[in-house]
Structure 1
Amino acid sequence: MRTLNRLTAIQVTRAKRPGVYSDGGGLYLQVTRSLAKSWLFRYMRQGKARGMGLGPTHTVSLVDARIKALDCRRQLIDGVDPLDEKLAKRRAEQRERPKSLPFRDCASEYIKTHRASWKNAKHQAQWESTLTTYAYPVLGDMPVSEIDTDEIMEVLKPIWASKTETATRVRGRIESVLSWATVNRYRSGLNPARWKGHLDQLLAKPSRLQKVQHHSALHYRDAPAFMTLLQSQEGLAALALQLVILTASRTIEVIGARRSEFDLECQVWTVPEERMKGGREHRVPLSTATMALLQPLLDTGSSAFVFPAIRGDKHLSNMAMLQLLKRMERADLTVHGFRSTFKDWARETTSHSKEVSEAALAHIIGDQTEAAYARGDLFAKRACLMQDWADYVSGQSTP
């Protein structure tokens, strides 16, 4: 009985029954239930049975399959596992894949990969616009494997002093894209866009070029008079700005507020985590003045938003309150600045603790150990603080 070459080409062609047919020497014809045919090499290695595919019969002939099986048997005689060798060769080929992927393509893949972890579409748009404006003219079509310090400097140097904040963001984004390219083996070596120990030796520190510009804020002593003037203004923007001030909330939290988030019976506004900068649900205690402001807004209208846009199922524009400030001839102020007004008032004129006022602003505790133990949201204490603040800006108390 033959131990090798048991099958014939005709048998291979006519095989219609699912199963495994031996040709000898570890070579088998494999027929699946769907009648797909392929070659399989079986062998023992260190007491364990292993199998390795040699290709489909429509591509690999019986003669070619026998040659492949012979090569596998020779490897085994030499102490080489043919399957391990095949996998090692495949990994080597993957490592040697073309490293000429352009920076623009790497950036697109990076954005696609990380899009889900970014909080909103605006962040993605900022990534794309800054890279398009500043990085792509120099790096866009360059293979990432060829990008070095000179090219990074060509991008950053023209804007480092004049647009420092933008330039630092561009540098960080380029660094992230190049790190992605390195991990995916499109480039190797140190990241030429890294700051510490590299670009910090070639470019001035951002803090020395541009002073931090804080949001323009109203002094807390002027808050009651401003609130009186604001209450005389008409329109949703004026009501939205009142809610910003009374709750010390951010613009986007207020203009995006939905009716379903408010429970006037329990005097609480619950902002869901997906709308919070810190990514955590925030409960806002509602003072009596805030309740009086909200009641008619929640009793009227059909939109899901408390402050709907004029057209479409959208909320009020984030520019509406800034335009209102201009009409009030207070273009020197910003909406975000009223959070600073509240903070200064709480710190300088009240006995409420810093911990409570920080919680009212929904600031995240920086110390991780402290944050691990601070599991409550100090709601009762914040309710007292926000009532005192509402009384103050409403002119019912003095600092």
Structure 2
Amino acid sequence: MGSFTAKKVQSLIREAKPGRYGDGNGLYLMIPRAGTAYWMCRYTFAGKRRGMTLGKCSHLSLAEAREQVVETQKVIRSGTDPLTERKREEKITISTVQDLFDDWYQELERRLKHPNIPKRVFERDIAPAIGIMTLDSVTPMDVRAIVRKVTNSGRPTIANDALMYLKQLFNHGIKLGLVTYNPASAFNVNDAGGVEKSRDRALSIDELSYVFAVFKENRTSFTRDNYLACALLVVLGVRKTELTEAKWSEFDISNEKWNLPGERSKSGFGIAIPLPPQAIAWLEELKIRACGSPYVFPSRRSSKQPYMGKDTLNRAIAKLFGKEPGKKLQPENRMGDIAEFTVHDLRRTCRSLLAAEGVPGHVAERCLNHKLKGVEGVYDRYDYYEERKQALIKVADLVASIIDAD
């Protein structure tokens, strides 16, 4: 019998003095500097000292921990390293596509800046079809069905992404020795959304005038929040989510400035964005509409996230073009003959308006929070704040009468 009693263990945990306390027979109570107390079994295998955690004290009693040590010693006597055995058992628990994704996601969290992007594609377009299937039962036909369904829903870029994530997911399974074959490997972009062409759509002043008039005419489906979001995107040239996920705490209205933090910027660099008077007026209206929310564009429906959804603006614009994904009966096209555009094209429109107003290229690029390339980017730490302020005021003056027209 060891030297611990249940009372002694509780007393040590309460004292919370960091250290390793032995019960004998290789069982130790571990009290870390931070975190909760846990049990550890120390043993020697093939001449090497090893340590294996057994579980948190809150989940495992002293008697149960002692039982586990006895079992561990039986495994050692049979000539097997308990740690190797545990890893093998963990591997067996990855049996479905969902299990494999959960394991892969831990790697994505370490590696990617935005691991939520593949997670969203998996949860929305892959898991409903094959999430509960065992790894070896997924066939190329299943992969094709997923990719076709996404392509047919009018999302070719997401179809390409879904295919890419399926390939990477099953490659992760091959790496772990769980499958020997990748059912997505033979497919390429031509089987999914096709080769993506670089877009260069920017709206002219006439087109902007027409588009904002259509937005206004359709107030019931195209909300005032959507309208003001599009106005700000044209005038400030920021990326969609940089705006739609913004918090009021980032805005310094009295100094006519928006401090966009680096962790929310695609470039990874924070930037102070000068706000023209028109943008200030739109933000003041949004502040009233936000009804005390910390977000500039709070979610108007009950959802997991507290701000406007990633697809909200694009779907609202697509609907005006007579396209609504997932609905058999398509709405009426209210945009007429104007060429289709997406939310990102409004950022590109800002860039072309800057050029039309004679703003130098390096200033326009900084307005869009692009890193300057080459030698200029390395040596030019000057942020062109005043030049950017004048440039954005020019754009705002150019389009304000269109946007604010009744």
- Report the TM-score, using the length of structure 2 for normalisation: 0.58
For 1:234-383, list aligned pairs within 5 A: 235-298=224-287, 301-309=291-299, 314-316=306-308, 319=312, 323=316, 326=320, 329-330=334-335, 332-347=340-355, 349-363=356-370, 375-383=381-389
- Structure 1 residue aligned with 2:205: 220
Whichever residue aligns with residue 129 of structure 1, its letter is R
Structure 2 CA distance for aligned equivalents of residues 204 and 123 of structure 1: 17
C-alpha contact (below 8 Å) 2:239/2:344 kept by paired residues: yes
C-alpha contact (below 8 Å) 2:357/2:395 kept by paired residues: no
- Structure 2 residue aligned with 1:119: 114
**SS of corresponding position for 1:269:** strand
Question: Which is greater in Rg?
Answer: 1
Among candidates 132, 138, 144, match of residue 127 of structure 2: 132
Deviates more, 1:178-187 or 1:153-162: 153-162
Structure 2 CA distance for aligned equivalents of residues 135 and 221 of structure 1: 48
Q: 1:322 to 1:244 in 2, by over 3 A?
A: farther
Q: 1:141 to 1:52 in 2, by over 3 A?
A: closer
Structure 2 CA distance for aligned equivalents of residues 34 and 128 of structure 1: 46
Q: How far 1:339 sits from its partner (Å)?
A: 1.7
Query: 1:318-366: CA deviations, max 9, x gaps?
Result: 636864883994384443322222223334x24323333233223456x
- Structure 1 residue aligned with 2:143: 155
Q: How far 1:126 sits from its partner (Å)?
A: 1.6
**SS of corresponding position for 2:281:** helix
Structure 1 CA distance for aligned equivalents of residues 117 and 246 of structure 2: 18
C-alpha contact (below 8 Å) 1:95/1:185 kept by paired residues: no
Whichever residue aligns with residue 306 of structure 1, its letter is V
Q: How far 1:239 sits from its partner (Å)?
A: 2.8
Q: 1:281 to 1:344 in 2, by over 3 A?
A: same
- Structure 2 residue aligned with 1:110: 104
**SS of corresponding position for 1:284:** strand
Structure 2 CA distance for aligned equivalents of residues 321 and 57 of structure 1: 59
C-alpha contact (below 8 Å) 1:287/1:387 kept by paired residues: yes
Structure 1 CA distance for aligned equivalents of residues 297 and 229 of structure 2: 7
Structure 1 CA distance for aligned equivalents of residues 198 and 237 of structure 2: 20
Q: How far 1:389 sits from its partner (Å)?
A: 0.9
Structure 2 CA distance for aligned equivalents of residues 99 and 258 of structure 1: 44
- Structure 1 residue aligned with 2:35: none
In the alignment of these two chains, the number of paired residues is 325
C-alpha contact (below 8 Å) 1:259/1:304 kept by paired residues: yes
Query: 1:155-189: CA deviations, max 9, x gaps?
Result: 2388469925444323321222233334434356x
Q: 1:177 to 1:307 in 2, by over 3 A?
A: closer
Query: 1:130-177: CA deviations, max 9, x gaps?
Result: 22255558xx3134xx98xxx446623884699254443233212222
For structure 1, the residue ranges without an aligned partner over 5 or more in a row are 1-12, 18-31, 69-84
C-alpha contact (below 8 Å) 1:285/1:379 kept by paired residues: yes
Identity %: 18
Q: How far 1:34 sits from its partner (Å)?
A: 5.4
Whichever residue aligns with residue 302 of structure 1, its letter is G
- Are 2:131 and 1:142 aligned? no
C-alpha contact (below 8 Å) 2:261/2:271 kept by paired residues: yes
Structure 2 CA distance for aligned equivalents of residues 307 and 264 of structure 1: 16
Structure 1 CA distance for aligned equivalents of residues 354 and 240 of structure 2: 20
Structure 1 CA distance for aligned equivalents of residues 295 and 386 of structure 2: 27
- Structure 2 residue aligned with 1:174: 166
For structure 2, the residue ranges without an aligned partner over 5 or more in a row are 5-19, 28-41, 52-65, 321-331
For 1:177-216, list aligned pairs within 5 A: 177-187=169-179, 193=184, 199=186, 203=188, 205=190, 209=194, 212=197, 214=199
Structure 2 CA distance for aligned equivalents of residues 268 and 130 of structure 1: 39
**SS of corresponding position for 1:283:** strand
Q: 1:93 to 1:386 in 2, by over 3 A?
A: closer
Deviates more, 1:257-266 or 1:112-121: 112-121
Whichever residue aligns with residue 348 of structure 2, its letter is S
Structure 1 CA distance for aligned equivalents of residues 108 and 354 of structure 2: 39
Whichever residue aligns with residue 126 of structure 1, its letter is V
